[in-house]
């Protein structure tokens, strides 16, 4: 019997992420330049419903802001300074708790 296991890369998205990790992933995608909801959804590997609730949470907490593109009549999202601070603190925390594999 052949068992295939997924390959886990350094920044690969795991099949089960916490709501916190999903929020950080969405903030990271927005920070990297994606602003349109569909593009954020694809880049974050999320369903539409999960993305909507996550974006609503991020906007309500002040980590992202919602705007509109008047030419295309589409919503756009931008990261706020508070959102950038969350990413900065998350990166610091990740560095502090990084576990190195034993050789």
Which residues fall within 8 angstroms of residue 48, CB to CB, at 6 or more apart? Answer: 41
Output DSSP code: residue 103.
-
The tens digit of pLDDT for each residue in 56-76 reads 999 999 999 999 877 777 899
- Which residue segments constitute the domains of the chain, with CATH numbers given? 19-93 (1.10.10.10)
Q: With cut-offs at 50, 70 and 90, classify the pLDDT of residue 84.
A: very high
Output DSSP code: residue 15.
S
H or E stretch including 79? strand 74-79
**pLDDT at 14 > cutoff 70:** no
Q: With cut-offs at 50, 70 and 90, classify the pLDDT of residue 96.
A: confident
H or E stretch including 77? strand 74-79
- Token match 């906007």: residue? 59
Query: Whole-model pTM?
Result: 0.77
> Which is more confidently placed, 2 or 101?
101
């Amino acid at each position: 019997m052949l068992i295939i296991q997924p390959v886990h890369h350094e920044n690969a998205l795991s099949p089960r992420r916490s709501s916190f990790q999903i929020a950080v992933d969405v903030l990271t995608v927005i920070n990297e330049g994606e602003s349109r909801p569909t593009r954020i959804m694809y880049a974050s590997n999320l369903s539409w419903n999960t993305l909507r609730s996550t974006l609503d949470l991020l906007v309500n907490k002040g980590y992202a802001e919602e705007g509109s593109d008047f030419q295309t009549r589409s919503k756009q999202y931008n990261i706020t300074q508070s959102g950038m601070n969350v990413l900065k603190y998350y990166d610091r925390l990740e560095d502090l708790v990084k576990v190195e594999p034993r050789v």
